[in-house]
Amino acid sequence: MKSLLIASSNPGKLREFQSILQDLGVNLVLPADIGVSLQVEEDGADYYQNALKKAVTYCQASGLITLADDSGLEVDALGGAPGLHSARYSPKPGANDGDRRTYLLSQLAQHPQPWPAHFHCSLVLALPDGDHYTFDGDCPGEIVSEERGEHGFGYDPIFRMAGRDKTMAQLPEEEKNRISHRGRATLAALPTLKKLLEKEMK
C-alpha cells in the first residue's frame, strides 16, 4: 500500500486527516513512524509559506508524497489575531490548548460581543519530483465566552460555527472533520491526491 506522510506531530490533525482519507487506500504515516525527526521553523509570512516549507522539507527527507498544513484562528475584534501565532498564543511558558483559550478570552473581554472569527487552513501536497499543489479551506463562525464540548482540540471548545448552535468541540468528530477549515481544504485536495497516487502505482 502506498504511504502518504503527514508532516505533523499533532494527533488531533492526524485524526482529522484519517477520517477524511480513510477510503483512499493509502497508509497515512507520521514522521516518527518512519524515523524522520526534523524541526521546521514556521517563519513564513503567511499560512501557505509555512505549509509549503513543512511539506517540502519532510518530502525531501522521506521521499514520500507529503501533506502539510498551516492553520490559524483569526478574530475580527483582535485585528486578525492570533492568526499565524495561534499555536503559540499565550505568554505562559509551556502553554497548552487550555491556556491559549483562556488567554484569548481574556483579550476579548474588553470587546463587546459578538466576536466574529474564522479558521483558515492552507494545505500543501509536496511530491518527490519537486512539484507541489496548494489548497485552502475556511470556516466562519464566532468565539463564545464559555467552553463547550469534549471533542476536537485547540480552540474548538470556544468556536461556534456559522449556522450551528454548537461549538466545533460539540460536533461529532466525523461531522466536524467534513466541514472544518482543514476538512474543507483536504476534501478539495482529494481528487488531486487520488490522481497522484494512481499515477505512482502504475
Active-site amino acid positions: 70
- For residue 80, with 0-12 CB atoms within 10 Å meaning exposed, 13-18 middle and 19 or more buried, which class applies? middle
- Angle at Cα 59 formed by Cα 57 and Cα 60, nearest 5°? 70
C-alpha–C-alpha distance, residues 158 and 87, integer Å:
15
Instruction: Decide: 63 and 128 in contact? Cβ < 8 Å.
Output: yes
Closest to 139 (Cα-Cα) out of 155, 119, 121, 154: 119
C-alpha cell at position 178: 467534513
Q: 27 to each of 37, 156, 200, how far by Cα in Å?
A: 19, 27, 14
Q: In angstroms, what CA-CA distances link 89 with 93, 97, 98, 191, 195?
A: 11, 9, 11, 34, 38
CA angle at 37 for the pair 137 and 65, rounded to the nearest 5°:
45
Residues 170 and 161: beta-carbon distance below 8 Å = no
